[in-house]
Structure 1
Amino acid sequence: MQVSDHDWVQPVPPPLPPGAATPPLPPAAPPQYGTPQYGPPSPAHAPIGAGPQGWTPPPRPGLLPLRPMGFGTLLWAPFRTLRRNPAPVFGTGLVVQLASAIASAALFVPLFVWIFGRIENADAADLDAILSGAVGWVVLLSIVPIAVSLVAGAFLQGVMVVEVASGTLGERLTFGALWRRAAARIWPLIGWTLLVGVVVGAVFALVVGGVVAVAILFPDPATVVVVVLLALAILLGLAVLGAWLGTKLALVPSAIVLERAGITTAMRRSWSLTNGSFWRTFGLILLVGLILSAAAQVVVQPVSFLGTILAMIIDPTAGDTYLGISIATTVATLVLSVLIGAITSVVQAALIAVIYIDLRMRTEGLDLELERHVEARESGLPVADPYLPPQAGASAATWS
């Protein structure tokens, strides 16, 4: 009968006689399958830090992931900008809003006080002349707050572009650093904002002026109605055209600041980057605008409504108490409007910079350049500005 390995039992030696010495044990037999042999460890399993180059830590996470982003990431990234570095970001938006509000109040409050005083003390014969002069002064002085808003808005665009670009690299800049970098490109930004304002204002004035001229030349009511309807159709078509051009040229501020381009070059860059991504860019800008508008209405309108209801309940006769509550409600509404306006302007400006970086990642591989920049910076190597176009990167100054 054949005995298998599992049936084999080691024989038991017979017992030794009393007093006999224990015989030595036989040498251990080698294992059945031989002695295991272990070679040197594979380089893939070497301990971290081994090797001539050592171990480099991964890049620190920044504002944006260093890869092309999905729609949801793009949608909420501008709001993360405000949360990640709130003091300089929200502070800049607040300064911009206050600059426009203070400029308007400083000019128009004394003007209206003077106008109303003149109207109260004027004769009926002088009333028309006073009103005409008041309208002229209002139109003339409106240039000052418009100019302040123009400069402030351009500066805010530059600040937010710098904040998003530096935040993507894991940097957290202070007020001074943000403002210095944005101020270096303020004149092209003002020129671009002024160009947009002039074009929009000229088109609107041309349409409205045409309607008024036709109404004066042809006072027939039927003609006026036809002209008004035609003007509305033209304005609707111009709105569609403006939405298309605004989307195609939305990235101009980012190109001006980050690529240090002139206005014409920045327009060409924005046009080329948005090729094939028009609807995505338009949808993001529209959706964020609707979200911010709805949020502003939800915050501001209940305060105004509750203040009015409270004044009517406490003082139905519209006396001094009613006036005091109305003034307090108006002040609270204005304060909330300024705060909400600061948040809105910051988020909308940040969105443009986020879209710009994402489109460059998709079309030019900017994400790889940013990764190399961060790794070199963490290793202590000199780094150049990673946002300059490839042809300008060789002679770029150090990113600072």
Structure 2
Amino acid sequence: MTDSPTWQSPGASAAPVPPSSESPWHAAQAAPAVAPPAVGWAPPPRPGLIPLRPLDFGTIFGTTFRVLRRNPRPVFGVAIGLTTLVAFIAGAVVTVVVLLGTDRIARAAPEDMEAIAIGTGAVVLISALLTAALTVVAGALLQGVIAIEVATASLGERLTFRQLWARGRGRWGALVGWSLLLSALLVVAIAILVGLVVLMVSIGDVGGIVAGVVVGVLGGLGMAVLASWLWIKLLFVPPALVLERRPLRESVGRSWRLIIGRFWRTFGIMLLLSVAIQTAASVVTAPFSLVSGFAGALVNPTGDLTADLSFLIGINLIAIALSAVVGAVGAVLLSGGATLLYVDARMRDEGLDLDLQRTVEARAAGASTDDPFLPARS
């Protein structure tokens, strides 16, 4: 007996036909086994502004600038409109008050000049406080608009300003009140520090002056550190107020809890954004400041008072417009960065990215869904 494939059993009438290379059986036996394609990792969907996953530093920093470009009309348009309005109102009010006060002092009797000067100073101070309050209100409204824009853009929506405003209806008052409260606390803290320094210096002796300088320097540094710490700890209060529609007290606690474990990361990103914005603003405004310093003598070499006044008004108008544009860009970037950090914190702590994915899929299928940013109902 042999193992040769040509061996035939006794009585076999014909030799077996060797399997053809064209035979399906042979092809199946001869063909190498092909493994099914491995199912690789697929990145989460990106229906709009951000990928629906926890965000790394590069994504947060880059997306902050995309907030300006994705929906510019209700974002940059509103920002520049608010900042320009506030800048022109502030400049006009202070200028009018100063001009009227200077004219009154010039026409007053010598014995009345001191009283008029004190009154003019008080009016200027009140005007400055009112314009500062107006700036705070405009900034608070812009924060809310940007927070809603970032949240809706993450789902692929592109809303008009009217739609963004309607989304925040009922929360604008709380947001403005929160911003005014913070500003008032800051003003009171600065006033107390300045009052202590003035009181110590007014004693007149060397010890009082030294103590006043020490208190001023150490108090200023301590206040800066405390303000920076509170800035980060309370950074998520506006998104919590507008997007989760929580009361003010709950929003403060909400921000405090979300920052736990990510304080330095949040501080670093916001500080880097602030430095980048300030650097860009300096680059834009520095040439204008240098030119305006000696342009008056070139434009008006004769020293004509009317020409000087016209040139001064024109320079101030250009400066206000330029500062409004730079301020609008900076406000949008900082508000957008804060909201992105808030969304990232909720993705990491609460699985918000999964809720956003489910919402996108359901809306693509034509189903109606609840707002995924609202707190879960118990």
Q: TM-score range by the shorter chain?
A: 0.7 to 0.9
SS at match of 1:381: coil
Cα gap change, 1:324 to 1:107, in 2 (>3 Å): closer
- Quote the offset at 1:64 in angstroms: 1.1
Cα gap change, 1:153 to 1:340, in 2 (>3 Å): same
Query: Equivalent of 1:210, from 196, 214, 233?
Result: 196
TM-score, L = length of structure 1: 0.81
Query: Equivalent of 2:125, from 112, 125, 139?
Result: 139
TM-score, L = length of structure 2: 0.85
For the Cα contact (< 8 Å) 2:171–2:241, is it kept in 1?
yes
Could you say what the CA RMSD is over the residues aligned between the two structures, in angstroms? 2.9
How big is each residue's C-alpha offset from its partner over 1:311-355, in whole Å with a ceiling of 9 and x where there is no partner? 434555544666655543332222111111111111111111011
- Quote the offset at 1:189 in angstroms: 0.5
- The 1-side partners of 2:134 and 2:218 are apart by 33
Cα gap change, 1:206 to 1:307, in 2 (>3 Å): closer
1:223 paired with 2:196, answer: no
- The 1-side partners of 2:92 and 2:300 are apart by 32
Letter in 2 for 1:77: T
- The 2-side partners of 1:146 and 1:180 are apart by 26
Q: How does 1:97-246 map to 2 (within 5 A)?
A: 97-216=83-202, 218-246=203-231
- The 2-side partners of 1:214 and 1:181 are apart by 52
For the Cα contact (< 8 Å) 2:355–2:372, is it kept in 1?
yes
- The 2-side partners of 1:153 and 1:326 are apart by 28
1:283 paired with 2:272, answer: no
- Quote the offset at 1:239 in angstroms: 1.1
For the Cα contact (< 8 Å) 1:63–1:164, is it kept in 2?
yes
SS at match of 1:197: helix
Instruction: State the partner residue of 1:384.
Output: 370
For the Cα contact (< 8 Å) 1:103–1:144, is it kept in 2?
no
Task: Provide structure 2 residue ranges, at least 5 long, that are not aligned to the other structure.
Answer: 6-16, 29-35, 38-43
- The 2-side partners of 1:165 and 1:122 are apart by 59
Query: Equivalent of 1:31, from 20, 24, 38?
Result: 20
- The 1-side partners of 2:97 and 2:215 are apart by 38
- Quote the offset at 1:150 in angstroms: 2.5
Q: Give the % identical residues.
A: 39
Cα gap change, 1:143 to 1:304, in 2 (>3 Å): closer
Q: Structure 1 stretches (4+) deviating beyond 6 angstroms?
A: none
For the Cα contact (< 8 Å) 1:103–1:148, is it kept in 2?
no
- Quote the offset at 1:149 in angstroms: 1.9
- The 2-side partners of 1:374 and 1:317 are apart by 68
SS at match of 1:133: helix
Letter in 2 for 1:31: S
For the Cα contact (< 8 Å) 1:308–1:329, is it kept in 2?
no
- The 2-side partners of 1:63 and 1:329 are apart by 39
Instruction: State the partner residue of 1:332.
Output: 318
For the Cα contact (< 8 Å) 1:304–1:330, is it kept in 2?
no
Letter in 2 for 1:308: G
Instruction: State the partner residue of 2:12.
Output: none
- Quote the offset at 1:30 in angstroms: 5.8
Report the more deviating stretch, 101-110 or 315-324: 315-324
- The 1-side partners of 2:47 and 2:267 are apart by 28
- The 1-side partners of 2:85 and 2:287 are apart by 26
For the Cα contact (< 8 Å) 2:79–2:328, is it kept in 1?
yes
Query: Equivalent of 1:64, from 17, 37, 50?
Result: 50
1:346 paired with 2:335, answer: no
For the Cα contact (< 8 Å) 1:182–1:257, is it kept in 2?
yes
- The 2-side partners of 1:253 and 1:349 are apart by 9
SS at match of 1:141: helix
